[in-house]
């Protein structure tokens, strides 16, 4: 279930936002925006969105920037914690995979 924030952004129960009635997170659109992609290029990245939805989502973000930026910072911390836990739990296996990839890449070089 979502809570309607505007025609362009819907709040999710977990504290995040989606663009309109799509499954595209506002986080994804804003990261593209931060990377310098134009709204038209963002539509190419997420073809389920319209240009109107992307422009509307960016405008909504700019009007709620402090709140969204705080959420994105919290998300970044969560992702880093998950990466760290995964590395701790799966480190030996990941290191063997990385080593094998490195060997395969070196053997394919002329």
For residue range 62-102, list pLDDT tens digits in order. 999 999 999 999 988 988 988 888 888 888 888 888 888 88
Interval 74-83: pLDDT, tens: 988 988 988 8
Give pTM, 2 decimals: 0.70
As a whole number of angstroms, the longest Cα–Cα distance in the chain is 57
- Phi/psi for 81 (5° steps) reads -60, -40
| 3-state DSSP helix/strand/coil % of the chain, to nearest 5 | 65, 10, 25
């Amino acid at each position: 279930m979502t809570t309607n924030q505007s025609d362009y952004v819907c709040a999710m129960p977990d504290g995040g936002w989606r663009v309109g009635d799509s499954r595209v997170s506002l986080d994804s659109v804003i990261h593209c925006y931060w990377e310098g992609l134009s709204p038209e290029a963002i539509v190419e990245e997420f073809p389920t969105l319209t240009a109107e939805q992307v422009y509307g989502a960016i405008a909504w973000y700019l009007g709620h920037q402090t709140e969204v930026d705080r959420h994105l910072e919290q998300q970044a911390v969560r992702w880093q914690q998950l990466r760290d836990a995964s590395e701790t739990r799966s480190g030996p296996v990941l290191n063997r995979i990385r080593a094998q990839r490195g060997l395969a890449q070196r053997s394919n070089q002329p």
